[in-house]
Chain A
Amino acid sequence: MWNSCTNHDSLINSGNSETRSGATMSQGNKTYGEEEGEEDETLAMTGVDEDDDDDDDDDLDTFTDGDLDSGCEDGVLGCRDPFSSEVKPRILLMGLRRSGKSSIQKVVFHKMSPNETLFLESTNKICREDVSNSSFVNFQIWDFPGQIDFFDPTFDYEMIFRGTGALIFVIDSQDDYVEALSRLHLTVTRAYKVNPDINFEVFIHKVDGLSDDHKIEKQRDIQKRANDDLVDAALERIHLSFYLTSIYDHSIFEAFSKVVQKLIPELPTLENLLNIFTTNSAIEKAFLFDVVSKIYIATDSSPVDMQTYELCCDMIDVVIDISCIYGVTGDEGGIPYDKESMAIIRLNSTTVMYLKEVTKFLALVCFLREESFERKGLIDYNFHCFRKAIQEVFEVRLKVLWSRKLLSQRRRSRQATPNGTPRAPS
């Protein structure tokens, strides 16, 4: 468990108790101390997994650049982008054909209008797509055309499952879901055997056509059946979360937000930072949004109102759209969302919405009253501190992961010498 405090030192010392990006560690003692001995010990357990990740580097793009040795020696981590795909949660999207997986991916991450998804063609072969460079979330869609062949040598399922934080299974609620449920059961049991830490999420999709009562009824039915299947297989330990979603409204974004939040180990720290910021600046509500996908990865402790969330999504849309039209310089390298991005929208109900850039992928969207906004200078200063703190939080994580990688590499090269003498890292 993270201590919920923002002290930089204590963040480093309390260690990385929940690992998500790739390594399965035993459920026991996970403290990662600064002493050599402890480090080696913990690394011995993770070494194996790190190797597997390395092998699959080209496919999985777990690290941004292929060259692992550069920068490792001098220990310079500043040159690395602190928001490389190393730090991002990995999510798999699976389900039967025509359940809506590609549409979900397009609507959430590629800003496609839901109506245009009608023209998307069926995915015919095992298809994998990465959305790691433009968004905070490292996301892969796995689309299977027919029966899952778990023995197909082209794709190493075990490797993939081991490196996954969450598995989303999409069920088409408008169709007969008996087959979907059996596939769900098969997938979940398979994945659980490989990596018991995966979060299993079930999206009950295409609910836009159903009435509210109908939705609840369907959810209850699917939930019961899926859990019954698991009990029958003596796997009650597996926990499934269910969400009602549709690409025609904001429910898909809300569901995704919840899925992603479970995968961020720094979440309590981020929430605490947001709380401190909002109380000191007299802000009513604040969200930390991933700009591309409009998923929010953290919010302060006040209750979340769906409509407020939707309004924030719409505000981000407006800001990005206008920036695309006017804010991009002629050359290819222009991006609409950059360091200076900010927006202020005044609503007539004396509420002000304020958006500020936090990192390359993240933005802070807050709601405050007109009177509070008069002290904009103070709010901006607080925001400046907040932004620095957020960047430090992510940098710490990156340093931890990089050190781990470095050490596992050294360990590997040490183990590889034939005559037993330790070899210097190349």
Chain B
Amino acid sequence: MRSIIFANYIARDTRRLGATIDVEHSHVRFLGNLVLNLWDCGGQDTFMENYFTSQRDNIFRNVEVLIYVFDVESRELEKDMHYYQSCLEAILQNSPDAKVFCLVHKMDLVQEDQRDLIFKEREDDLKRLSRPLECTCFRTSIWDETLYKAWSSIVYQLIPNVQQLETNLRNFAQIIEADEVLLFERATFLVISHYQCKEQRDAHRFEKISNIIKQFKLSCSKLAASFQSMEVRNSNFAAFIDVFTSNTYVMVIMSDPSIPSAATLINIRNARKHFEKLERVDGPKHSLHMRMR
């Protein structure tokens, strides 16, 4: 999962990844100035025992976000839940303000008609177990867009000035008469902010767009090219995706076919400087990522 979101793997390539040994540290630049410290902790039993005993303080201190991954096909539900609870205890002790996210992963291995049912069951269990902490649950799979939805929500919580971004986006959209404006983080293509002026049909469109563009970026990279901007039209709409600030991409949806492309592109270009100024840094954040086998 980490490879796909942060390191531009495509889903198929992840078959080659081996088991994570102990803790893998990585620093990920996000939004230019934000640095995420990602701790990918191996899921084997020996490591898990280790975390809760000798390394406890080290790992669980100063955590902003705990992401716990469950394998939906796991045969050892009891043990999984036990480890999860130990994590929660450690978090309560060391970083009680951390936000907790649970990902019920590998959902593609479940038959489609059973997915909702199984996820609901798990979610109820987890919410019950997590009290007094609040946990947000997502069902994910590396083979579709659900992965992006989960990570977008997680990342959304980490952005320092999200309210300001949204206000500015709204002004921008209203000036250029756009139906919708989305802001993506450059490397991961996760949606970090958006504004829509009318109700859109598809509630899952953000993660779908992230998925679509990410796939395309990866195919371009095979030809040693990378895509810079895109315009898609049909008789009902026009979509423009372009580089925005040094850390973001913007997507503008117009539904008025009489507005020429050039006008929108000029508007986007003029807005760039304004948004550059908004990007600010607050200091490095620390997140914790635990992995369950």
- Contact surface of A with B, Cβ cutoff 8 Å: 113, 115, 119, 248, 307-308, 310-311, 314-315, 317-319, 321-323, 325-330, 334, 336-349, 351
**B201 — which chain A residues lie within 8 A by C-beta?**
325, 328, 330
Closest to B229 in A: A346
**A339 — which chain B residues lie within 8 A by C-beta?**
235
**A343 — which chain B residues lie within 8 A by C-beta?**
230-233
Indicate if the CB atoms of B230 and A325 lie closer than 8 Å. no
CB of B231, distance to nearest CB on chain A (Å): 5
Q: A327-B234, A328-B201 are in contact. List 10 more A-B contacts (CB 8 A).
A: A115-B143, A119-B111, A314-B215, A314-B220, A325-B208, A326-B239, A327-B235, A327-B237, A338-B234, A346-B227
Alpha-carbon distance A319/B108, docked complex (angstroms) = 25
From A318, A329, A340, B233 is in contact (CB under 8 Å) with A340
Indicate if the CB atoms of A115 and B108 lie closer than 8 Å. yes
* B78 contacts chain A at the CB level, 8 A cutoff: no
Closest to B219 in A: A314
Indicate if the CB atoms of A325 and B202 lie closer than 8 Å. yes
Tell me if A's interface is mostly helix, strand, loop or mixed.
mixed
Closest to B218 in A: A314
Indicate if the CB atoms of A340 and B143 lie closer than 8 Å. no
Q: Could you tell me which residues of chain B, from 161 to 201, have a CB within 8 Å of some CB in chain A?
A: 179-180, 200-201
**B112 — which chain A residues lie within 8 A by C-beta?**
119
- Contact surface of B with A, Cβ cutoff 8 Å: 12, 108, 111-112, 143-144, 179-180, 200-202, 205, 208-209, 212-213, 215-216, 219-220, 222-237, 239, 253, 257
Closest to B224 in A: A349
CB of B243, distance to nearest CB on chain A (Å): 10
Indicate if the CB atoms of B208 and A307 lie closer than 8 Å. no
**A326 — which chain B residues lie within 8 A by C-beta?**
179-180, 200, 205, 236-237, 239, 253
**B225 — which chain A residues lie within 8 A by C-beta?**
347-349, 351
Alpha-carbon distance A91/B231, docked complex (angstroms) = 35
CB of B258, distance to nearest CB on chain A (Å): 12
From B205, B229, B235, A325 is in contact (CB under 8 Å) with B205
Alpha-carbon distance A231/B236, docked complex (angstroms) = 58
Indicate if the CB atoms of B12 and A248 lie closer than 8 Å. yes
Tell me if B's interface is mostly helix, strand, loop or mixed.
mixed
CB of A361, distance to nearest CB on chain B (Å): 15
Closest to A322 in B: B232
Indicate if the CB atoms of A307 and B223 lie closer than 8 Å. yes
Alpha-carbon distance A340/B200, docked complex (angstroms) = 21
Count of A-B contacts judged by CB separation below 8 Å: 104
Alpha-carbon distance A328/B226, docked complex (angstroms) = 28
**A319 — which chain B residues lie within 8 A by C-beta?**
232
Indicate if the CB atoms of A340 and B234 lie closer than 8 Å. yes
**B231 — which chain A residues lie within 8 A by C-beta?**
343-345
Indicate if the CB atoms of A348 and B227 lie closer than 8 Å. yes
A327-B236, A330-B201, A344-B230 as given contacts; A321 in contact with B208, CB under 8 Å = yes
**B222 — which chain A residues lie within 8 A by C-beta?**
307, 310
From A346, A349, A351, B230 is in contact (CB under 8 Å) with A346
A326-B253, A338-B235 as given contacts; A348 in contact with B230, CB under 8 Å = no
Alpha-carbon distance A340/B12, docked complex (angstroms) = 35
CB of A250, distance to nearest CB on chain B (Å): 10
**A323 — which chain B residues lie within 8 A by C-beta?**
232, 234, 237
6 closest A-B pairs by beta carbon, nearest first, are: A340-B235, A314-B219, A347-B225, A341-B234, A327-B234, A343-B232
Q: What are some 17 contacts across the A-B interface (CB < 8 A)?
A: A115-B143, A307-B223, A311-B223, A314-B215, A315-B216, A317-B212, A325-B202, A326-B179, A327-B235, A327-B236, A337-B234, A339-B235, A340-B235, A341-B234, A343-B232, A348-B225, A349-B225
CB of B174, distance to nearest CB on chain A (Å): 19
Indicate if the CB atoms of A345 and B234 lie closer than 8 Å. no
Indicate if the CB atoms of B232 and A318 lie closer than 8 Å. yes
Closest to A308 in B: B223
Alpha-carbon distance A345/B257, docked complex (angstroms) = 19
**A346 — which chain B residues lie within 8 A by C-beta?**
227-230
CB of B212, distance to nearest CB on chain A (Å): 5
Alpha-carbon distance A336/B239, docked complex (angstroms) = 13
Indicate if the CB atoms of B236 and A329 lie closer than 8 Å. yes
**A318 — which chain B residues lie within 8 A by C-beta?**
212-213, 215-216, 230, 232
Alpha-carbon distance A397/B85, docked complex (angstroms) = 71
Indicate if the CB atoms of A348 and B226 lie closer than 8 Å. yes
**A307 — which chain B residues lie within 8 A by C-beta?**
222-223
